[in-house]
Structure 1
Amino acid sequence: MAHLLGHPGCMASLQADLRDLQGAIADVSSRTGPARFPSWKFPNKVSCELDLVVLLERYSHAEGDPEFSQHAHVVLLELVIDR
């Protein structure tokens, strides 16, 4: 499975999953209020205040830079845990 690390298709799928998760979180939060807990990935921030749009843009596949793409892929996986 390591050969898929940084694969653009896998990363796009993870980004779509994160958008779906964020939508579900927003739906629940609109009824119950935000859950104000520290982010697992960014412990100095509150998880409900993370700007997911910016993070998804920042951590996307970089053509010609496999090391960054692999790093970004790991960050996306960590963001799934954080959500």
Structure 2
Amino acid sequence: MSQFLGRQDCIDSLRKDLVDLQGAILDVFSRTGPVRFSSWKFPDKLSCSLDMVALLEQYDFVDGEDAFSQHSHIVLLELVIDR
């Protein structure tokens, strides 16, 4: 499984999943209002207050930067769990 860690296709897939999840969450919030619970990934923030656009800009695949891409992969996976 570690051979997939940091691969561009895996990171791209996680990013698309996060965009889809965030869209579904915003759809629910438009009907119910935000749910005020702590974020799993960032416990000092409310999950409804996370700036997903900024997080997606910060964590992405960088060609030639294997350690950063692997870190981004893990963070994006944790954000999927957080959502």
Shorter-chain TM range is: over 0.9
- Local SS of the residue matching 2:40: coil
Runs (4 or more) in structure 1 with deviation over 2 Å come to none
Where does 1:1-80 land on structure 2 (aligned, <5 Å)? 1-80=1-80
Q: How much does 1:40 deviate?
A: 0.3
Deviation of 1:62 (Å): 1.1
**What is the aligned-residue RMSD (CA, Å)?**
0.5
State TM-score, norm by structure 1: 0.98
Q: Give the match's secondary structure for 1:79.
A: helix
Letter matched to residue 38 of structure 1:
S
1:20-59 C-alpha deviation (Å, 9 max, x unpaired): 0000000000000000100000011000000101101100
Task: Name stretches of at least 5 consecutive residues in structure 2 with no aligned partner.
Answer: none
What is the CA distance between 1:64 and its match in structure 2? Answer: 1.1
For 1:17, the aligned partner's letter is D
TM-score normalised by L of structure 2 = 0.98
